[in-house]
Amino acid sequence: MSEPDKIMLQNCVEFLKEISFIIREEWLVDCILDLRRRIPDLSQNQLNEKVLSSLLISDMKSYGAPALPPGIGSIKVGKLDKPTIVQIENIQDVSLSIAERHTAQPKPQAKAKAKSNARAFVPFHKRTLVLLVTDGVQECSCLEFTFIPALSEKITLGSKILITNASIRRGIIFLQSYNVFILGGNCERCIEASQKASEAIKEILDTHAAKIAHLRSEFAEKQKSQSTPAAGAGIAPMRQAASTSLGLTSQTSADGRERQVGYAMVEPEGERVITTNDILSESSADESDGFDDDAEEG
């Protein structure tokens, strides 16, 4: 590397530190040499802009240096004080089910709520974004603690964001609207990985939906066959039930008056009619027989 290139490299390193970009020097050297070879008369400002553009559209895992706190996943309570640039590897709205995230139209992200006193509507946002981010060395999760208008689950994966003055709880960075800034960019690796994962999840969901639909169809057919009686089925029991009924029996006394003496089971013609008097008389006979037997034994 020539002396002018070394000077431009040092100035570029200082520029990147000022905007909180921490990168590996070997990647920066290769980037500057490539830019100087393609555009020899680049000024320092132009070089800085070109390098920054290259950083935003490149994979941070190819050039990133440690920027997040060491062992961030094991930090129970902490704070990310210094400005830190990370790359979004993935983003999900965990207020939606997996099916809503990967299949049909999801629930609207904002509902209108009316003020009690007023003319305008206040937007009511019901979502919770969870981001997987990396500094090129470590990965960690970020939680949308309060609604952040600049963030969306539709954001381009590989975008770079600047986080500062954020709380850390159990290894998760808590994001709020005042401590996160979108820098832009993309990453082909992240986009392709997300598309493959989404297609795999859709395939699994479609397979399960087909199985559930088949089981429901089988169950409906089974219920239908059980609820429809065969020809002639159920007629005999109905006839049998209709042929036997409970009726009152009466007896005419010596003075010619009719009085009720009990209930009787009225059955088809030719069969015996059993009255309550028959049952009582049979019970009395059994009792008297038992008493006489006892007396004889005595």
The tens place of each residue's pLDDT in the chain, 298 residues long, gives: 677 778 888 999 999 999 999 999 999 999 999 998 998 888 999 999 999 999 999 999 999 999 999 999 999 999 998 999 999 999 999 888 887 877 655 454 444 444 444 444 445 557 899 999 999 999 999 999 999 999 998 899 999 999 999 999 999 999 999 999 999 999 999 999 988 888 888 888 888 888 888 898 888 888 888 876 655 555 444 444 444 445 555 555 566 665 555 555 555 544 455 555 565 565 555 555 554 544 444 4
pLDDT at 258: 57
Q: Which residues contact 272 (CB under 8 A, 6 or more apart)?
A: none
Q: What topology does CATH give the domain 58-101+122-226?
A: OB fold (Dihydrolipoamide Acetyltransferase, E2P) (2.40.50)
Domain boundaries, the chain: 3-56, 58-101+122-226, 239-297
Give the C-alpha separation, 161 to 134, whole Å.
10
pLDDT at 230: 56
pLDDT at 285: 57
pLDDT at 201: 86
Run of H or E including 295: helix 276-297
Give the C-alpha separation, 40 to 2, whole Å.
13
Q: What are the DSSP E strand ranges found in 115-244?
A: 121-125, 129-134, 139-144, 160-163, 166-169, 172-175, 180-184
pLDDT at 99: 77
Give the C-alpha separation, 159 to 90, whole Å.
10
pLDDT at 206: 85
| Phi, psi dihedrals of residue 233, rounded to the nearest 5° | -70, 135
Q: At 56, list the tokens.
A: 């935003």
